[in-house]
């Protein structure tokens, strides 16, 4: 795990935001993590970004809170975040990775509509965060591989967001490239 202190801070702040039901803060924390994830391409940083963002999206949907299984899911997620914080403080990288995986595993323990809804949130969050990694300059193939999604899913989402329209992602025409080369070498 790279940038351990940053991940610790993210989870400590996320814990408070979850208790307050502050979905906006969770999304901000996820965005902060994606910057680190794009530089390091570290799976734990990427998982942190996806999980924190997903929890924010889940908390936005207040109607989930009345569905069977919600209270248990919420308690387990809170407990696992505490365990992750403790693991980070103990430099237990294996424990961090395992418990990050356990958070996603909690979705599999749900049943009924809540399971489907939360699975959907995690899948869409993975695609969303993948598009942010791609936006930060990580290749589409590498991004898809890091997040376990297909390049087709990523391309479809990225194409709809305008990421490819960001000036840094546009290529110059032939005439512009020649002019630039002449300025650099001429």
Token digits of residue 79: 């407990």
Residue 82's pLDDT is what? 97
Q: Is the per-residue pLDDT at 182 higher than 80?
A: no
> Which of 46-50, 73-77, 91-95 bottoms out in mean pLDDT, i.e. has the lowest?
46-50
- For the chain, how many structural domains are there in total? 1
| Closest to 125 in 3D by CA, of 71, 69, 61, 170 | 61
The answer to whether 52 and 29 are in contact (CB under 8 A) is: yes
Kindly indicate the confidence band of residue 186, based on its pLDDT and cuts at 50, 70 and 90. Answer: low
Q: What percent of the chain has pLDDT over 90?
A: 42
Kindly indicate the confidence band of residue 162, based on its pLDDT and cuts at 50, 70 and 90. Answer: very low
Residue 53's pLDDT is what? 92
Give residue 71's Cα distance to chain centre. Answer: 24
Kindly indicate the confidence band of residue 163, based on its pLDDT and cuts at 50, 70 and 90. Answer: very low
| Closest to 83 in 3D by CA, of 15, 33, 36, 32 | 15
Residue 42 belongs to what domain range?
4-185
């Amino acid at each position: 795990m790279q940038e351990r202190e940053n991940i610790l801070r993210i989870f400590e702040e996320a814990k408070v935001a979850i208790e307050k039901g502050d979905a906006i803060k969770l999304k901000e924390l996820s965005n902060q993590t994606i910057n680190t994830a794009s530089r390091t391409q570290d799976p734990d940083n990427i998982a942190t970004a996806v999980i924190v963002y997903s929890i924010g999206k889940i908390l936005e949907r207040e109607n989930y809170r009345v569905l069977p299984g919600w209270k248990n899911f919420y308690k387990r997620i809170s407990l696992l975040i505490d365990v992750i914080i403790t693991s980070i403080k103990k430099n237990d990288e294996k424990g961090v990775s395992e418990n990050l995986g356990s958070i996603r595993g909690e979705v599999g323990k749900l049943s009924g509509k809540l399971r489907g809804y939360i699975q959907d949130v995690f899948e869409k969050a993975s695609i969303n965060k993948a598009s942010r990694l791609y936006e930060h300059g990580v290749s589409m193939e590498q991004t898809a591989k890091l997040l376990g999604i297909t390049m087709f899913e990523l391309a479809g989402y990225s194409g709809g967001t305008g990421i490819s329209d960001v000036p840094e992602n546009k290529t110059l025409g032939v005439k512009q490239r020649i002019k630039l080369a002449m300025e650099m070498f001429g």
